[in-house]
Amino acid sequence: MTMRAIANELGISIPTLYRRLKAEGVNLADLRDEKTGKVTPAGAAVIADVFRGSMNNTAIQEIIGGDSQCVSSDTARQDTDATVRAAVCAAKLEAAEATITRLEDELTRLRDERDKLLTMLVEQRQRQMLLTDGRQRRGLFGWFKRNRGTDTSGSGDK
């Protein structure tokens, strides 16, 4: 079964199918058979799980049943359903682990950046203290307004 056939069964366009799978974090290469390039039954199950709430799931189940071997008894059908559910769970777990790894890497990168920015801030404050001798100047004419050792009590020279 091809992605085009699945999209036709679902009544959506191929770009919509790809966009929805990407939004769910599904790797499209994992859905296809390496030799034939067609969607595997496990891949169809993943697609069925993604579109479970938005359409009648029987269409994809028919796709899975058509591509896999014919099932004659209810027991074999239940085994196939369980296998498909296990494949879906495995795919979700793999996607979740990849997301966790990506987020941990991002967290490490952000912590390193935070530490670098804090170091730069401390250095900037030290430079500011050295340039101003610890005093804060007020504007361009702050140098003229500072107290130059004169008596500010108004008594003058006595």
Q: What is the pLDDT of residue 83?
A: 83
Q: Looking at the predicted structure, is the pLDDT value of residue 132 above 90?
A: no
Task: List all residues 6 or more positions away from 10 whose beta carbon is below 8 Å from its beta carbon.
Answer: 17, 51, 55, 59, 60
Give the pTM.
0.37
pLDDT confidence band for 100 (50 / 70 / 90): very high
Q: What is the pLDDT of residue 112?
A: 97
Among residues 6, 34, 33, 32, which one has the least CA distance to residue 20?
A: 6
pLDDT digits (tens, 9 = 90+) for 30-41: 788 888 878 887
pLDDT confidence band for 106 (50 / 70 / 90): very high
C-alpha angle 14-46-99 in degrees, rounded to nearest 5: 95
